[in-house]
Amino acid sequence: MFKILLALHLLFAIFAIGPLVHAATTAGRGVRRGDGAATASSARLLRIYSYGSAVVVLVGFGLMSAKSPTNPKQHVGEFGDTWIWLSLLLWVVAIGLVLGVVVPTLDKASALIQKEESVVSLTARVAAGGGIVAVLFAVIVFVMVYRPGH
């Protein structure tokens, strides 16, 4: 069961979080170019992949409760383990940033582009938000691999 859950966790991470990070880090291009369709598309993709990333967390909880392959008497992890709660906290911050800052800014930029108004002031917010999201998910990977406190 452990290997199946691990494979699912990794697959969902690759196919949900990978595109989420890509969309977040490239969303500023549409804003910079004044491309309303690209900006609206980025916002839509970020919403979809943000919600989809919850599947990674749910499978991670299932994986956490699986028996350890090296010690069948132990679970892979417990919520009190530093690496688990820290990963979850960083995920919440990243998704909060996407849904609370980046997506609303992209929606605002799309509306302004349709009105043919300037969106230059929004470019930095989108680019910075996307960059921070990428860094947060990179830190999550390191936390999951190195397991501080374990």
The pLDDT tens digits of the residues spanning 76-120 come to 778 888 999 999 999 999 999 999 999 999 999 999 999 999 999
Q: Look at phi and psi of residue 75 and say left if phi exceeds 0, alpha if psi is from -120 to 50, else beta.
A: beta
Average pLDDT rounded to a whole number, residues 141-145: 93
Alpha-carbon distance of 131 to 109, in angstroms, equals: 18
Average pLDDT rounded to a whole number, residues 122-130: 95
For the whole model, what pTM was predicted?
0.91
Please return the burial class of 145, using the count of CB atoms within 10 Å of its CB with bins 0-12, 13-18 and 19+.
exposed
Decide if 28 contacts 123 (C-beta within 8 A). yes
Give every CB contact of residue 18 below 8 A, 6+ residues apart in sequence: none
